[in-house]
Structure 1
Amino acid sequence: MTATDSARRFRVRAPELRGRGWLNTGGRELSLADLRGRIVLLDFWTFCCINCLHVLEELRPVEEEFGDQLVVVGVHSPKFEHERDPEALAAAVERYDVPHPVLDDPELITWQQYAARAWPTLAVVDPEGYLVASMSGEGHAEGLRRLIRELIDQHTAKGTLRTDGVLPEKTAREDTELRFPGKIALLPGGSFLVSDSAHHSIVELAADGETVLRRIGTGVRGSVDGTVETAQFAEPQGVCVLPAAIAEKIGYDVLVADTVNHQLRAVSLADGTVRTVAGTGETWRGAPGDPVDVPADPLAARLSSPWDVAWYEPINAVVVAMAGTHQLWSYDPVAEKLAVYAGTTVESLRDGTLEQAWFAQPSGLASDGTKLWIADSESSALRWIEDGEVHTAVGKGLFDFGAMDGPAADALFQHPLGVAVLPDGSVAVCDTYNNAVRRYDPVTNEVSTLATGVAEPSGAVVADGTLVVVESAAHRVVRPIPPGTMSSVAQVDGTRHRTKRPPVELSPGPIRVEVVFEPPAGQKLDDRYGPSTRLEISANPPALLADGLGVTTDLERQIVLAAARDEAEPTADGDGVLQVIAHAASCDVEGPNPACHLSRQDWGIPIRLVPGAPTELVLMLRGVTP
């Protein structure tokens, strides 16, 4: 049965699009009626989420291919409190060059209407306004193309595909010398190297942090090696100035995390030439927990959103914050060797050995020569590595965040993206979504606030004893802390938050969990190398799950949820989080060398235990919505 056959069978009318307002529409509000006659693809996303950013990139060529037959609508469904700010969302839409209309849905109204359970989720609405497919996670671009072509053929024959009427155009934005800069490094002569992310280039600034000395790259999104005038990047982030002795051996001075190109790029400061040293340009795909097989040739490796790079003396190599795989990798520029350094690809917060630790979108790195400090953004945590062990200084997990000073055990950050080691050995944290610069003192084990009102700080470096910060959302480099005051700070009372997702009500006791996966037209499940599907279930707290923990190869399983709480009323946040990880491998039916495709998703679902509530949980990996 094809996707459109299934769609005819179910014929579910798509819920209306409701939220606080619209972006990228020129001030116009949209409804499904306005889009009738076109295929509509809804992308439920949140701008903190690396998987959502991957899907934005996957959708760019799809949007271009189908032109005005297809309308993509982003439905922004925030995780963090900062993401509920309409100005922050408007900045993110520009920062990530979102080309399509975006519905601002801070209360998750449309999210709930479409039964979204995870970021990202995609839903397809046909030209007659019926919901025909839903899918979660990354890797659906080819399946979407097949489905869209099928829908175009069907609705062209029916006369229901129309492209008349003018759609709103992307909102024009002002330009500035820097546009959403990301990271910063200090050069030996006292100038700075800054990744000008939205301008897709690397900029050298004078010691004043304002005067542009030169720009490396054309400023056009792309992946091209070449001269200072011809090279191209795509939303670069981390910049690492290599030790002089290393640079002399290898013939370049700087390593750049070219984030959206999924590559490491080398820059020679003498002439500004750029070349790729690692990464094919394609992102690694696998299920959470799957080992990453790094080939001997770094240029044959698939990276995944490298976000920062830092030289780490204990291993005599560059550490790469691989945000997309929730790991740290290492790159030895002399031996030209790339390897996994720490983390398992599971997105969570767990300390331990390098091989056992879990990270959650690591995005900032800094070393004091012994310790490697890490801004672990999705867990709102400050972590460090020392003597082969991973530790957490501040942070509680994926769903707890806020702005709290005091003892580290009680302190909270909100999605920090950068770190820098201060002269006294304490650590400055770019507490990005709190618009603040915070300080962690490893001697007293306390957190304090150095500066507030800094618009999305994302990177920092110490120059002449002063902290220099990238104020990303203000498009500039600043010195927000007067010299000599970095260790003299006051405690600030703050707030605590949890991710605001409505809990799913389920009954205590036996529960049937089903993950739906239907291969796209022209594909079949691929079992040539073993089982084609995998399902892993766990819970936090572990006591939430009385039975059913572990991994199976079937996408359907019975679990047992523990008895409800003793309280008369369930808590507002629910009784815990059910973690469901699924993946499915499919391949093309035709051709001598059929292409392989992997669909995967990690759902962290808040659960509220209510006697008499439903006894099944159905999650959509890819399929027709019943």
Structure 2
Amino acid sequence: MAKRVRVRAPELVGAGGWLNTGGKELSLADLRGRVTVLDFWTFCCINCLHVIDELRELEEKYKDTVVVIGVHSPKFVHEADHAAVVDAVERYGVHHPVLDDPELATWKQYAVRAWPTLVVIDPEGYVVAQHAGEGHVHAIEKLVTELEAEHAAKGTLRRGEGPYVPPEPEPTDLRFPGKALVLPTGNVLVSDTTRHQLVELEPDGETVVRRIGDGTRGLVDGPAGTARFSEPQGLALLPDGRVAVADTVNHALRAYDPAGGGVSTLAGTGRQWWQGSSVSGPARETDLSSPWDVAWWADRLWIAMAGVHQLWAYDPAAGTVSVAAGTTNEGLVDGPSGEAWFAQPSGLAADGDRLWVADSETSALRWVERDGDTDGFTVRTAVGTGLFDFGHRDGPAGQALLQHPLGVTVLPDRSVAVCDTYNHALRRYDPATGEVTTLATDLREPSGAALVGDDILVVESARHRLTRLRLPEEAVRVEAVAHRTRREATEVAPGRLRLDVVFQAPPGQKLDVRYGPATRLLVSATPPELLADGAGQGTELTRELVLADTLDGGAAEGVLHVSAMAASCDDDPDIEYPACHVHQQDWGVPVRVTPAGAERLPLVLAGLDGEEARGNQE
């Protein structure tokens, strides 16, 4: 094994303290002798949730030598609330210690730039690798095997139980429910997300009629008592009377038959979609990625594919799925469906000529409509400006602010109720007037809603219940609050800025150039006036950007959006069918133009050993 530069890992500090440790404060000294994997995450980020799921097998396989530590590093203001972090740790089944770092102290010490980022620390307390993005667990497992052998030989490896202490379970009928649907019978079906079930309730929204699924995480079809889901979310009635279920962590679309009680799979393979996978085809043979909500519209079932920032569509007659809108680039760009950008679409609601979309990471309300000239679809935005502006502000739609909304519901007057999740509020957008108002506050993380007569039944996810509200004639008034992302801006010099996306194929792999360039780089800016040159797509991972002159109308600060991809395969001529991997990461880098700023912006795409490892140099 190649000799690594000795880089001492900084101490783990966070003002929010520790979770899942039984009240114990951990330090790096407590972890000495174990391989430690730090997972820098934030609970709004779908890529972070993917990594939590990727790490489950690694944690189980190496439970006597590896300790995973989550470092929660918030983007949204709500995510700095300690109670919200406690909820998220349970909601997403995080079974390892978590450091709550609301002030990003440890994030800064480890020079992290993107969510998620994984950092590997060896048994002697030195950083040996850093990986940005998801899909790196296979490389980390190889490194863990090497570290186990190396430190067993040196006598510096310590085996045994880790520091994880599970919290006490809470006896509630629902646990972090996601979405709700009123059945033709008048009963209410709820996705009981954390318990991996669907729950049918009486019209009161409280009395349990039956549970669908045995409560164990899995992908199993069959009778209601033995079927299995994995963190199901969205629900929609199909024309044949069945209920479509967005089975989020299974990356699948399921169907529940209320009449017969059975569960079947409509679409998805159980594998997560990656760049290079098919974007259309037979539904049961095509990979999906974290479907979060579903709605029947325009003669097909639309899917909010949060994991790839797109909308997909399922055609039950043809038995196929395909991309309907979005490019997989994360951001807010309107236009023809094939050119639009989304950012974790998480809520859908159909209303005749429009499909409303809660686009959570851009804190936006958007819609899809038919394009009469081309017979295609066009994406437009009602509320929201981009990835890093959010808050709670009513008024004209162009000035209104939301904070990570997860649900939308069309009201009887064709206005739209928005579950403004991180503002704990129910908001209303009126297309007729272009005004945004607040219908209700003090709702704990509302994530979905359904109409019941003159009432609206709101899923209060973090209160584990449904709350019935009378639709008010007048909206609640709240004091306006605006926020930007909590991360500090990177100071960059005016003029030319060299962007370097640093990529090194994992050990035993090489760039895959069999079908053309193995890398891709896409750059844009918010506002667009930040860049005078360098925006657009190319195949080189290095690019010279030109920041616009502030004296000539250029922006003094903004966000650089960088999306990079690299493909690698096993580098062994004796392997007939080499395993291949796609490494992809999207960054939103806040920058401020200043004369003393940096002239180079390095971003790490894949795991690096040795001299590129980050930390405090010893």
Same fold (TM over 0.5): yes
**Structure 2 residue 453 is matched with structure 1 residue 464:** yes
Alpha-carbon offset, residue 475 of structure 1: 0.5
Equivalent position of 2:21 in the other structure: 25
Alpha-carbon offset, residue 566 of structure 1: 9.8
Alpha-carbon offset, residue 494 of structure 1: 2.0
Matches of 1:91 and 1:189, distance apart in 2: 33
Matches of 1:416 and 1:582, distance apart in 2: 27
Alpha-carbon offset, residue 557 of structure 1: 2.8
Deviations 1:270-322 (A, max 9, x none): 22111111001111112xxx8x733421111110100001111xx21111111
Matches of 2:351 and 2:535, distance apart in 1: 41
Note closer, same or farther for the CA distance 1:395–1:173 as it changes in structure 2 (3 Å cut).
Answer: same
Equivalent position of 1:549 in the other structure: 535
1:530-609 aligned at under 5 Å gives the runs: 530-563=516-549, 575-590=557-572, 591-609=575-593
Unaligned runs of 5+ in 1: 248-252
Matches of 1:334 and 1:189, distance apart in 2: 26
Equivalent position of 1:285 in the other structure: 274
Equivalent position of 1:219 in the other structure: 215
1:246-265 aligned at under 5 Å gives the runs: 246-247=240-241, 253-265=242-254
Matches of 2:601 and 2:364, distance apart in 1: 31
Matches of 1:440 and 1:395, distance apart in 2: 12
Specify which of 317, 328, 331 is matched with residue 348 of structure 1: 331
Partner AA of 2:594 in structure 1: V
CA contact (8 A) 1:186 1:241 kept: no
Partner AA of 1:200 in structure 2: H
1:47-196 aligned at under 5 Å gives the runs: 47-163=43-159, 167-196=163-192
Partner AA of 2:336 in structure 1: T
Partner AA of 1:44 in structure 2: F
Alpha-carbon offset, residue 511 of structure 1: 2.5
**Structure 2 residue 293 is matched with structure 1 residue 308:** yes
1:468-507 aligned at under 5 Å gives the runs: 468-479=457-468, 481-482=469-470, 485-507=471-493
Measured on the aligned residues, the alpha-carbon RMSD in Å equals 1.8
TM-score (norm 2): 0.94
The answer to which of 492-501 and 230-239 deviates more is: 492-501
The answer to which of 372-381 and 506-515 deviates more is: 506-515
Partner AA of 1:419 in structure 2: V
Unaligned runs of 5+ in 2: 371-376
1:507-522 aligned at under 5 Å gives the runs: 507-522=493-508
Partner AA of 2:7 in structure 1: V
CA contact (8 A) 1:587 1:596 kept: yes
Alpha-carbon offset, residue 564 of structure 1: 5.6
Alpha-carbon offset, residue 561 of structure 1: 2.6
**Structure 2 residue 41 is matched with structure 1 residue 45:** yes
Equivalent position of 2:373 in the other structure: none
Alpha-carbon offset, residue 206 of structure 1: 0.4
Q: Secondary structure of the residue that 2:502 maps to in structure 1?
A: strand
Q: Secondary structure of the residue that 2:18 maps to in structure 1?
A: strand
Partner AA of 1:82 in structure 2: H
CA contact (8 A) 1:147 1:520 kept: no
Alpha-carbon offset, residue 27 of structure 1: 0.8
Partner AA of 1:364 in structure 2: G
1:434-445 aligned at under 5 Å gives the runs: 434-445=423-434
Q: Secondary structure of the residue that 1:328 maps to in structure 2?
A: strand
Matches of 1:165 and 1:470, distance apart in 2: 38
Deviations 1:544-601 (A, max 9, x none): 223322333232233233346799xx99xx7111122111111112321011111110
**Structure 2 residue 435 is matched with structure 1 residue 446:** yes
Matches of 2:272 and 2:18, distance apart in 1: 31
CA contact (8 A) 2:329 2:563 kept: no
Partner AA of 2:564 in structure 1: A
Equivalent position of 2:421 in the other structure: 432
Matches of 1:458 and 1:317, distance apart in 2: 24
Alpha-carbon offset, residue 434 of structure 1: 0.6
Matches of 1:147 and 1:336, distance apart in 2: 42
Matches of 2:550 and 2:338, distance apart in 1: 36
Q: Secondary structure of the residue that 2:233 maps to in structure 1?
A: coil
The answer to which of 350-359 and 593-602 deviates more is: 350-359
Deviations 1:429-464 (A, max 9, x none): 111101111111111111111111111111111111
Specify which of 383, 397, 408 is matched with residue 397 of structure 2: 408
Partner AA of 1:501 in structure 2: R
**Structure 2 residue 347 is matched with structure 1 residue 358:** no
Note closer, same or farther for the CA distance 1:230–1:166 as it changes in structure 2 (3 Å cut).
Answer: closer
Note closer, same or farther for the CA distance 1:525–1:166 as it changes in structure 2 (3 Å cut).
Answer: closer
Matches of 1:265 and 1:364, distance apart in 2: 17
Note closer, same or farther for the CA distance 1:165–1:48 as it changes in structure 2 (3 Å cut).
Answer: closer
Partner AA of 2:304 in structure 1: A
CA contact (8 A) 1:146 1:520 kept: no
Equivalent position of 1:274 in the other structure: 263
The answer to which of 529-538 and 91-100 deviates more is: 529-538
Q: Secondary structure of the residue that 2:497 maps to in structure 1?
A: strand
Equivalent position of 1:250 in the other structure: none
Matches of 2:80 and 2:201, distance apart in 1: 33
CA contact (8 A) 1:564 1:610 kept: no
Alpha-carbon offset, residue 509 of structure 1: 2.5
The answer to which of 542-551 and 233-242 deviates more is: 542-551
Equivalent position of 1:529 in the other structure: 515
Matches of 2:544 and 2:354, distance apart in 1: 45
Alpha-carbon offset, residue 526 of structure 1: 1.4
Equivalent position of 2:284 in the other structure: 299
Equivalent position of 2:381 in the other structure: 392
Matches of 2:347 and 2:384, distance apart in 1: 15
Equivalent position of 1:14 in the other structure: 9
**Structure 2 residue 356 is matched with structure 1 residue 373:** yes
Partner AA of 1:422 in structure 2: L
Note closer, same or farther for the CA distance 1:566–1:6 as it changes in structure 2 (3 Å cut).
Answer: farther
